[in-house]
Amino acid sequence: MSSFDERQNRFESEFAHDQEAKFKIEARRNRLVAAWAAEKLGKSGDEAEEYAKSVIRADLQEPGDNDVFEKLRGDLPKSDVSDDEIREAMGEALAAAMEEARQG
């Protein structure tokens, strides 16, 4: 195998690893922000777990974070939670998920 092929295989492997790590971090972020939203909605236990699953499924609808935001925006009363609060909660959840991933 040539050094070019070896380098290409290494880059492909690193890319696959990075994509897997990104997916896991985003899934963890979704679970954390779903727990935040579930608390706002008065859900706990199995009901909160089902809600978290619905948020995770929502993230699979389209690329990016907008699908998760739209899910949360649709579920949380505008009178209680602003768009900025949702975005802030998503950012905090992402930071926490990234920190968890760094710690292993």
Q: Which uninterrupted H or E stretch holds 55?
A: helix 45-58
Structural contact between residues 38 and 47, judged by C-beta atoms closer than 8 angstroms: yes
pLDDT digits (tens, 9 = 90+) for 23-38: 899 999 999 999 999 9
Query: Among residues 46, 53, 61, which one has the least CA distance to residue 30?
Result: 53
Site of tokens 């602003």:
82
User: Among 40, 13, 53, 36, which residue's Cα sits nearest to residue 95?
Assistant: 36
Q: Which amino acid is at 23?
A: F
Question: Which pLDDT score is estimated for 1?
Answer: 66
pLDDT at 5: 75
Q: Which domains are delineated in the chain? A: 3-103 (1.10.790.20)
> What pLDDT does 3 receive?
79
What's the farthest any 2 CA atoms get from each other in the chain?
A: 63
In angstroms, the first-to-last Cα distance of the chain is: 34
Tens of pLDDT, residues 46-104: 999 999 999 999 988 787 889 999 999 999 999 999 999 999 999 999 999 999 999 97
Q: Which residues 6+ apart lie within 8 Å of 54 measured at CB?
A: 34, 71
pTM more than 0.85: no
